[in-house]
Amino acid sequence: MKQVLLAATALGLMATVVVAQEIPVVVLFPGAPPPPADGCGGYGSLAIKWIEEAADAFDKQGATFDSGDKVRQAVMEAAKPKLVAAWSSMGKQAMAAGPSRRVYAPSVMMPKRQDAMDPRCFPKLMRLVAHNEQRLAEQTAAEVARVEAESQRRVEEAAKREAEAAQRAEAERKAAEAERKAAKAEADARLEANRRAAEEQSREAAKPENQLREAYSLYILLKWCHDVRDGYLVQYVNDVEMHRVETAMKAIGDKLKAQDPNMDTDKIWKQADRAIVGNKGIGSDSCHWWFRQFMGTSPIPAVRVQKPQ
């Protein structure tokens, strides 16, 4: 805006000489009434011309002002150099005419109030005002649109971020759920495998030949427990206990051979003997534990108690 005013001021100063030549001066005798302005609405024709020229220049430049009043102030400021030059020329001519004369230039007369401008006298100025209002409205609309677009962009970006966050959360939830299911499936598979292995082991252990092999193994260990301290005052398995073991072993063998008459007991005995070679950790605790375990498999009681007479 300052550049526009400075340019208009410069143009007005350059036209000072031309302005002085344009002014028609009226010289009046003392007491004579001043002549009316020769323009419109109290403005002289040259003043109107200069104001309209300034308004037209601003309009062609597409200048924009804050309000209609600012438009009028800017136009008057732009026309001011020519008006000042005109008044200066009038003063010089008045001095030349002498003290008994008064000099008037109706063409540069102006009312005291700017709002006395008749719109019909200043079509270019009014057009500038209208165009300024239109440009202001366009700028306002553009700014509103920009703000709305920016707001919409932020809303969309926020919605996009929320959607992406929701997608990530859902993906993480699904991944965690899949991991949990996979871990559960793996654990279930292990449990099932262990269950089947236990069932298979139980089935194998329940076979007569395997029961007999286990009984033989314990019998061999208990025989070691008895013989390793033979002749000592304290034995891991004493003679009475060993007698019970032998009685139970015969009962176990008879029972299992009855279940599977085709068993090769000699072969099973050799297998049991080979299985415990080098694995005889003989001691009081181990021997007592083997004794309890062996007698727990016996089909006959360790001690028979007779009913009293």
List the alpha helices (DSSP H) in the chain.
2-14, 16-22, 45-61, 68-97, 123-206, 208-227, 239-259, 265-276, 284-296
DSSP-derived 3-state class of residue 95: helix
The b/e string for 132-160 (b: 16+ C-beta within 10 A; e otherwise) is beeeeeeeeeeeeeeeeeeeeeeeeeeee
pLDDT tens for the 309 residues of the chain, in order: 444 444 444 434 334 444 555 677 787 777 788 888 888 888 999 999 999 999 999 999 999 999 999 999 999 999 999 999 988 888 888 787 777 777 888 898 888 776 668 889 999 999 999 999 999 999 999 999 999 999 999 999 999 999 999 999 999 999 999 999 999 999 999 999 999 998 888 888 889 999 999 999 999 999 999 998 888 888 899 999 999 999 999 999 999 999 999 999 999 999 998 888 666 667 889 999 999 999 998 988 877 777 787
Q: Are 282 and 225 in contact (CB under 8 A)?
A: yes
